[in-house]
């Protein structure tokens, strides 16, 4: 697709101008350039500011026309009524697109400024991201062109979000947990490029394993459905849309100046296209985490193994509503578990309560159950700190024939370190048993959908 190639040329730009760059780090122009530098971008950076000779240690230029080298893309952080002139200069300089962080357009009642900007862009076959966005972060090119934050933890999740703050939250959660992102793009007013364009792009992006989307409105419902269905046939997509209630719909409309639409109909459409639809931000994140690693799970049968009967009980309560099946173990399997020299208080039917914090007990029990081929996935509910949990879980995941997910509630600082190391190793870790079960359920539903359409 031509549009995918155009987005690729912007995301992979090797020379950028930052128009409105500043030495004042309290201003958006200062914050954005600082973030680009902090993200490790290795291409040419041309700050544009007519008032100074240097910006944050880089030579500054009075205008785009004065830049001596080639220009691939421009990042714009100036007052709204100057933006169309900047875009015209960038296009004449050979740039292919602009990332427009500037606000003050339709969302502020200035539809005329958007019309002027779009007219200039179309005249030059020039593509626009925004306006009124927090920016983009494409880790493959180390291009973190945002107000903040610098996120350089690589991972499988691409974030498409209509809210700058929610973009930040999802990216920071992913970085803090060692899960990471492949990219993040903020939609803003979607004057030119829109959510469907980015879905098409990330569907073919080889560094993206799962696409996580937060929306308040869509630009073209028919086109959105086509893009979503194509993407879901290639890789998992998870989606959260604001506006379930009348008040939420009004808030979404006031944020972007667009209509939010009927939430129930929209959610049904997304599921029919193959997307896992979340109802809150935590669930969106959990779904993305699960789908990035468990997308190929073969069925719905799960075995729970825990240090705690309580953790298993919480997981069991959630299992039925999430579509998980909990098969009882045959007598032969229970007898095999009895031969493993586990603790006398252990309960050895599904769900398994080992009553132990010894990693070796988990190891032996999981490998024994795996050998009987009675389930499609293991969920280990660690309600207490387990000895050498990071080492034994990573090794265990390599020996099992089926996927492994972890719920890790107890352990303080040890838990935090373990969570990061496990997720970097591709093992999804959840904060509570019920969040783990919901994520697993979404992964199983998505795997079934993809098997049907492939």
Range of the domain at 304: 296-453
CATH number of the domain at 178, please: 3.40.50.261
Task: Please report, rounded to a whole number, the percentage of residues in the chain having pLDDT higher than 70.
Answer: 95
Instruction: Give percent of the chain with pLDDT exceeding 90.
Output: 80
Q: Are 158 and 213 in contact (CB under 8 A)?
A: no
- pLDDT grade for 249, boundaries at 50, 70 and 90: very low
Whether pLDDT at 309 is above 90: no
Q: Name the band, by pLDDT with cuts 50, 70 and 90, for residue 81.
A: very high
Predicted TM-score of the model (pTM): 0.93
Count the domains in the chain.
3
Banded model confidence at residue 251, pLDDT cuts 50, 70, 90: very low
- Choosing from 295, 330, 359, the residue where a domain stops is 295
The reply to whether 142 falls in a domain is: no
Q: The dihedral of CA 291, 294, 295, 301: what is its sign?
A: negative
**Can you give the pLDDT at residue 257?**
39
Structure-token pair, residue 64: 């785009």
Model confidence at 258, pLDDT cuts 50, 70, 90, reads very low
Task: Give yes or no: residues 67 and 158 share one domain.
Answer: no
314 shares its domain with 386: yes
Instruction: Tell me the pLDDT tens digit for each residue of 397-449.
Output: 999 999 999 998 866 677 788 889 999 999 999 999 999 999 999 999 999 99
Here the CATH number for the domain that contains residue 101 is 3.40.50.720
Residue 244 has pLDDT above 70, yes or no: no
- Is residue 254 scored above 80 in pLDDT? no
Clarify whether residues 74 and 58 are in a common domain.
yes
How many residues are present in the chain? 454
Across 191-202, average pLDDT? 97
Give the mean model confidence (pLDDT) for residues 192-203.
98
Asked if residue 8 has pLDDT above 60, the reply is: yes
Per-residue pLDDT at 1 exceeds 90: no
Q: 148 in a domain, yes or no?
A: no
- The answer to the question of residue 266 being in a domain is yes
Identify the weakest region by mean pLDDT among 25-29, 182-186, 254-258: 254-258
Q: Classify residue 137: in a domain, yes or no.
A: no
Q: Are residues 180 and 222 in the same domain?
A: yes
Residue 310 lies in a domain: yes
pLDDT band at 178 (very low <50, low <70, confident <90, very high): very high
- Asked whether residue 291 falls in the same domain as residue 306, the answer is no
Do 51 and 178 fall into the same domain? no
Query: Of 295, 330, 363, which residue is a domain's last?
Result: 295
What does the pLDDT average to over 174-187?
96
Of residues 357 and 293, which shows the higher confidence score? 293
Average pLDDT over residues 12-18: 98
**Residue 43 domain-assigned (yes or no):** yes
Read off the pLDDT of residues 104-121 as tens digits, 9 standing for 90 and up. 999 999 999 999 999 999
pLDDT of residue 261: 57
Residue 367 has pLDDT above 70, yes or no: yes
Give residue 414's pLDDT. Answer: 73
- Partners of residue 206 on adjacent β-strands: none
Q: Is the pLDDT of residue 295 over 90?
A: no
pLDDT confidence of residue 246: 52
Judge if 104 and 15 occupy the same domain: yes
Is 273 in the same domain as 348?
A: no
pLDDT at residue 199, as a whole number: 98
Mean pLDDT rounded to a whole number for the chain = 92
Q: Are residues 237 and 283 in the same domain?
A: yes
């Amino acid at each position: 697709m031509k549009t995918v190639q155009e987005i690729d040329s912007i995301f992979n730009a090797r020379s950028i101008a930052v128009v409105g760059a500043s030495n004042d780090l309290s201003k958006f122009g200062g914050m954005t350039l600082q973030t680009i530098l902090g993200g490790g971008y290795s291409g040419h950076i041309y700050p544009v500011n007519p008032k100074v000779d240097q910006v944050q240690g880089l030579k500054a230029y009075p205008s785009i026309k004065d830049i001596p080298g080639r220009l691939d893309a421009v990042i714009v952080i100036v007052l709204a009524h100057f933006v169309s002139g900047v875009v015209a200069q960038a296009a004449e300089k050979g740039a292919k697109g602009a990332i427009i962080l500037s606000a003050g357009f339709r969302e502020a009642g200035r539809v005329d400024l958007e019309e002027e900007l779009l007219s200039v862009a179309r005249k030059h076959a020039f593509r626009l991201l925004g306006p009124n966005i927090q920016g983009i972060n494409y880790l493959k090119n180390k291009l973190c062109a945002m107000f903040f934050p610098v996120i350089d933890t690589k991972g499988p999740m691409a974030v498409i979000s209509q809210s700058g703050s929610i973009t930040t939250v999802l990216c920071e959660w992913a970085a803090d947990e060692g899960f990471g992102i492949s990219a993040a793009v903020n939609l803003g007013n979607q004057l030119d490029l829109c959510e469907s364009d980015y879905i098409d792009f990330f569907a073919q992006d080889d560094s993206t394993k799962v696409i996580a989307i937060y929306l308040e409105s869509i630009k073209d419902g028919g086109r959105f459905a086509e893009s979503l269905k194509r993407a879901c046939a290639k890789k998992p997509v998870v989606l959260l849309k604001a506006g379930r209630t009348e008040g939420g719909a009004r808030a979404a409309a006031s944020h972007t100046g667009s209509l939010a639409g009927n939430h129930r109909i929209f959610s049904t459409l997304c599921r029919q296209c193959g997307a896992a639809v979340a109802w809150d931000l935590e669930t969106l994140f959990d779904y993305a985490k699960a789908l990035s690693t468990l997308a190929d799970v073969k069925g719905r049968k799960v075995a729970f193994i825990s240090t705690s009967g309580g953790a298993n009980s919480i997981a069991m309560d959630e299992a039925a509503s999430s579509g998980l099946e909990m098969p009882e173990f045959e007598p032969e399997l229970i007898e095999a578990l009895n031969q493993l020299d586990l603790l006398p208080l252990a309960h050895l039917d599904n769900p398994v309560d080992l009553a132990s914090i010894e990693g070796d007990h988990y190891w032996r029990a999981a490998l024994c159950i795996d050998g009987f081929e009675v389930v499609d996935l293991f969920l280990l509910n660690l309600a207490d700190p387990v000895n050498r949990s990071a080492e034994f879980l990573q090794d265990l995941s390599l020996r099992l024939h089926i996927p492994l997910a972890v719920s890790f509630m107890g352990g303080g600082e040890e838990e935090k370190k373990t969570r990061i190391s496990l997720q970097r190793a591709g093992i999804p870790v959840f904060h509570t048993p019920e969040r783990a079960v919901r994520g697993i359920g979404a992964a199983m539903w998505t795997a079934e959908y993809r098997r049907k359409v492939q």
